[in-house]
Amino acid sequence: MAKFDANVLLKDKRFWIASFLIVWAAGLQGHLMWMQRQDAFKQKFGMSNESSVDKQENLSQS
């Protein structure tokens, strides 16, 4: 088995690009899960009064 050399790995541009893509994908997945949880909360408990007032104002302007 070849000797592991961290110095070479840290200088490799492909390592940093792959690391960035992994972190970006994990962040995107976390954000989408958070948005899904927010939507589930809105469906379970309904919209707040402020949001319904905004909806009514938008409907009256149409």
DSSP label at 3? P
pTM for this prediction: 0.58
CA distance linking residue 54 with residue 45, whole number of Å: 18
The token pair at 45 is 């408990």
In contact, 9 and 15? CB cutoff 8 Å: yes
First vs last Cα of the chain: how many Å apart? Answer: 71
Which amino acid is present at 3? K
pLDDT at position 48:
63
Residue 62: pLDDT above 80? no
**Three-state DSSP class for 44?**
helix
**Per-residue pLDDT reduced to its tens digit, 1-60:** 567 788 888 889 999 999 999 999 999 999 999 999 999 999 998 876 655 556 666 666
